[in-house]
A = this chain, B = another copy of it.
């Protein structure tokens, strides 16, 4: 095997383990999943997992980072294709948040439910990918403030947090109730109406 082939082989195995972990967590939850069950989902030997990840917490965080990178790339690509002002883009952001979740249920469940079960993740991990996600949202708020469309006195960081919280909670309910994708247009329209109409400047 050449070095390039070896690297490709490594990447494929790593991806298979991450995918196996996602499936295993969706079935039994983070705490109840054994490393051997992840190995079995991934079709690798138990020991192989430790060649790629230190422990289950490390696997959880790597899985999150890897998938969030994908989410962020997709968000950026879709948002840059939207023509319009910051409010149009914010509505698209809200819609995409729900859409990506219903298209990827295991991932949505992982992010809204399983991830929080790791105290390490919630309390110690700095979470650079989530910071990237929030930065996109905060950037849209600030763009809106610069355009004079969003009230200048609002703290863009606090507002991004609040919007994320609203999206996340509604999504948690959708995920737990396993709602059909069709439902999401209603959710996304109503949440946009509340949050965004609450942000616009008024005379």
A194 to B195, Cβ gap below 8 A? Answer: yes
> How many of chain A's residues have a CB under 8 angstroms from any CB in B?
42
B154 in contact with A165 (CB, 8 Å): no
User: How many monomers of this chain does the complex have?
Assistant: 2
Binds B, one of A40-48, A68-76, A113-121: A113-121
- Listed by A's residue number, 21 A-B pairs whose Cβ atoms lie within 8 Å are A30-B119, A113-B122, A116-B116, A116-B117, A117-B117, A122-B176, A123-B176, A154-B193, A159-B190, A162-B167, A162-B169, A162-B194, A163-B166, A164-B169, A165-B172, A166-B166, A166-B169, A168-B169, A194-B198, A195-B195, A198-B198
Seen from chain A, the residues whose Cβ lies within 8 Å of a Cβ on chain B are 29-32, 113-114, 116-119, 122-123, 151, 154-155, 158-159, 161-170, 172-173, 176, 186-187, 190-191, 193-199, 202
